[in-house]
C-alpha cells in the first residue's frame, strides 16, 4: 500500500455492456488459506482472491510455519502443518486493512501453543478485537499486551491445552463465530457457538470439506447453533473459490442504474447467507436473473444477468443485515437513484467496519446532493432518480466506500471524485480495468 493518495473521478457514462468475472470470494479465500495451513499435507486453492487482504493472510500463514506457493497457473499450493502445528512467528504479524484475516487468525493462534503479535494499518488498529478476545480467553488464550480496549497491536499467547466452550455470540459476526470454531479445533470435546442471527457459514462448510465433524442446527427464528467436534485430523482437499458476491455488487448496481445497461456477471456465489442485496434489489424492482445455477466446490453459484430499469424505495428489515452487511454502501447508491424513500434498519455493525461505514455512506451521498438521515441505527435515503453528484468523497481507507462512490459517479449529473482509490486493491484488484472494460468512465 502506497502512502500517497491516488484520487479517481467517475463521470456519467453510456450503457454498460458485456460479460465479466469478478475476483474470488474474500471470505472463502482467507478461510481456504488458514484451514489449508491447519491440515496435514497439501491443499490446492483455485480462484483465490489475490487482493491485499488475502495476501496478508498468506504471509501470516508462512510466518506461522506453513508453506504456501502460487503456481504459474494461478493455483495456490499450501503445505499445512496440522492443528496445533504453528510455530511462534519471529516478527509481528501484519494484517494490513483486514479484520477478517486478523480475527480468524486470532482464533487459530488461540488454540496453538505459540505467542504472536498482531498488527495492522491505521483503520484496523481502530477496530474492536475485544469481542473476539473474550471467548478466546475463556478457551485458555492470554492477552499479554494490547492497545486500549484490546485493540491492535496486541500480543496473544495461545493455549497449550485449549478448553472447549459453548458461546452465545452477542453480535451477529461470522468473524467472531469463526474465531471460536478455529480455536475449538485444538480443544478436546465439543465447541458450540450459538448465534441469534445466522451469519455467513463458509467456515462451517470448509471445515466439513476438510473432514471435520460439525453440525449446524436452527436456533430461534433466525439463528443457528453450531457444534464442532474438536481435535479432528483435517485432511487436505482442493478448494475452488467462486466469484465474490460482495464484489459483483458494484458492477451489478452500476448496470441497474446506468440507463440501457445489460451485463452478465459469471459464476457469482449465491450462498443464501450472502445474497441479501439481491433480495433487496429485486424488491426494489431490479431485473436480476440467475442463469446456469450450479454447485462449485461446496457453494452454489450462478451467472447473473442484470438489466437497467426503474427502482423504487423499500424498507430493508434489520434481520437481513448479516446477509448483506458489506453491501449497504452500494445499496445506498441504488437507493439514491430509486424513486422514493429507502429505510435500511439495524445497521449498528456498520459503525465498526473498515471505517464508520454508516457515517461514511451518509457523507458520500450528502456530498453528492442526496438527502440522507441517520435515525438511531437506521439509514434513510431519499431517492430522486439521478443524483446531482459533483462531490469529493472521503474514503477513510475503506474500499467499499471508494467503489460505491465511483458507481454513483457513473450516473450522476456531475462527476464524483474520491480522495483515494488505493484501498480498492484490498478486496477487488482490477476493479477499475474491469469497469472500464464494461464502458465506465473512470479517470
Residue closer to ligand S3P by CB (options 125, 307) is 125
Contact 265, 251 (CB under 8 A): yes
Tell the smallest beta-carbon distance from residue 321 to ligand S3P (Å). 9
Among candidate residues 49, 120, 77, the one with its CA nearest the CA of residue 426: 49
Within 256-295, which residues bind ligand S3P (CB under 6 A)?
A: none
Residue from 175, 261, 368, 421 touching ligand S3P (CB under 6 A): that is 175
Part in contact with ligand S3P (CB under 6 A); list of ranges 168-176, 255-263, 291-299, 312-320 = 168-176
Residue closer to ligand S3P by CB (options 50, 441) is 50
Set 94, 201, 326, 363: catalytic member: 326
Tell the smallest beta-carbon distance from residue 1 to ligand S3P (Å). 18
Size of the site for ligand S3P (CB under 6 A): 11
Tell the smallest beta-carbon distance from residue 200 to ligand S3P (Å). 6
Part in contact with ligand S3P (CB under 6 A); list of ranges 167-175, 225-233, 235-243, 295-303 = 167-175
Residue closer to ligand S3P by CB (options 13, 173) is 173
Tell the smallest beta-carbon distance from residue 287 to ligand S3P (Å). 27
Residue closer to ligand S3P by CB (options 239, 263) is 239
Part in contact with ligand S3P (CB under 6 A); list of ranges 85-93, 170-178, 186-194, 258-266 = 170-178
Half-sphere exposure of residue 162, counting CA atoms within 13 Å on the CB side?
Answer: 35
Angstrom CA distances, 55 to 134, 152, 422, 426, stand at 27, 19, 15, 9
Within 333-372, which residues bind ligand S3P (CB under 6 A)?
A: 349
Taking residues 12 to 51 in sequence order and writing x for each that binds ligand S3P by CB under 6 A, - otherwise, the string is ---------------x------------------------
> Is 326 annotated as catalytic?
yes
Which grid cell sits at 313? 424505495
- Dihedral sign, CA of 24, 30, 34, 37? positive
Q: Which residue is nearest to ligand S3P (CB)?
A: 27
Within 46-75, which residues bind ligand S3P (CB under 6 A)?
A: none
Considering the rule CB under 6 A, would residue 100 count as an interface residue with ligand S3P?
A: yes
Dist. CA 442–CA 248, nearest whole Å:
18
Residue closer to ligand S3P by CB (options 199, 227) is 199
Tell the smallest beta-carbon distance from residue 87 to ligand S3P (Å). 25
Q: What angle do CA 390, 396, 400 make, to 5 degrees?
A: 75
Residue from 165, 325, 424, 440 touching ligand S3P (CB under 6 A): that is 325
Within 199-258, which residues bind ligand S3P (CB under 6 A)?
A: 199-200
Residues that bind ligand S3P (CB under 6 A): 27, 100, 173-175, 178, 199-200, 325-326, 349
Q: Which residues are the active-site residues? A: 326
Amino acid at each position: 500500500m502506497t502512502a500517497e493518495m491516488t484520487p479517481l473521478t467517475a463521470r456519467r457514462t453510456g450503457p454498460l455492456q458485456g460479460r465479466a468475472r469478478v475476483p474470488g470470494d474474500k471470505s472463502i479465500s482467507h478461510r481456504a488459506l488458514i484451514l489449508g495451513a491447519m491440515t496435514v499435507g497439501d491443499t490446492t486453492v483455485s480462484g483465490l482472491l489475490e487482493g491485499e487482504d488475502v495476501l496478508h493472510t498468506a504471509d501470516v500463514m508462512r510466518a506461522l510455519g506453513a508453506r504456501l506457493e502460487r503456481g504459474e497457473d494461478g493455483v495456490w499450493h499450501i503445505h499445512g502443518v496440522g492443528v496445533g502445528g504453528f510455530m511462534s512467528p519471529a516478527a509481528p504479524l501484519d494484517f494490513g486493512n483486514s479484520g477478517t484475516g486478523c480475527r480468524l487468525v486470532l482464533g487459530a493462534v488461540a488454540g496453538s501453543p505459540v505467542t504472536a503479535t498482531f498488527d495492522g494499518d491505521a483503520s484496523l488498529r481502530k477496530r474492536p478485537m475485544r469481542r473476539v478476545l473474550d471467548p478466546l480467553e475463556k478457551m485458555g488464550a492470554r492477552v499479554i499486551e494490547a492497545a486500549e480496549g484490546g485493540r491492535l497491536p496486541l500480543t496473544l499467547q495461545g493455549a497449550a491445552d485449549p478448553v472447549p466452550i459453548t458461546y452465545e455470540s452477542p453480535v451477529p459476526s461470522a468473524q467472531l463465530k469463526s474465531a471460536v470454531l478455529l480455536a475449538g479445533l485444538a480443544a478436546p470435546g465439543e465447541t458450540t457457538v450459538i448465534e441469534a442471527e445466522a451469519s455467513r457459514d463458509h467456515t462451517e462448510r470448509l471445515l466439513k470439506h476438510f473432514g471435520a465433524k460439525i453440525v449446524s442446527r436452527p436456533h430461534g427464528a433466525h439463528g443457528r447453533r453450531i457444534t464442532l467436534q474438536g481435535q479432528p485430523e483435517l485432511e487436505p482437499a482442493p478448494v475452488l473459490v467462486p466469484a465474490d458476491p460482495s464484489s459483483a455488487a458494484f458492477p451489478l448496481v452500476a448496470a441497474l442504474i446506468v440507463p440501457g445497461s445489460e451485463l452478465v456477471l459469471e459464476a457469482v456465489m449465491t450462498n443464501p447467507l450472502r445474497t441479501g442485496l439481491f433480495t433487496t434489489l429485486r424488491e426494489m424492482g431490479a431485473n436480476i436473473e440467475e442463469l446456469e445455477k450450479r454447485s462449485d466446490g461446496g457453494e452454489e453459484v450462478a451467472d447473473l444477468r442484470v438489466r437497467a430499469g426503474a427502482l423504487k424505495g423499500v424498507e430493508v428489515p434489520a434481520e437481513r443485515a448479516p446477509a448483506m452487511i458489506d453491501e449497504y454502501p452500494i445499496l445506498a447508491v441504488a437507493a439514491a437513484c430509486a424513486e422514493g424513500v429507502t429505510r435500511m434498519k439495524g445497521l449498528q455493525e456498520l459503525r465498526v467496519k473498515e471505517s464508520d461505514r454508516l457515517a461514511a455512506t451518509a457523507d458520500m451521498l450528502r456530498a453528492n446532493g442526496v438527502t440522507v438521515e441517520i435515525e438511531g441505527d437506521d439509514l434513510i435515503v431519499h431517492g430522486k432518480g439521478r443524483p446531482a453528484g459533483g462531490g469529493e468523497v472521503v474514503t477513510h481507507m475503506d474500499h467499499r466506500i471508494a467503489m460505491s462512490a465511483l458507481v454513483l459517479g457513473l450516473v450522476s449529473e456531475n462527476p464524483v471524485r474520491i480522495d483515494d482509490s488505493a484501498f480498492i486493491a484490498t478486496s477487488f484488484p482490477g476493479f477499475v480495468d474491469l469497469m472500464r472494460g464494461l464502458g465506465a468512465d473512470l479517470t
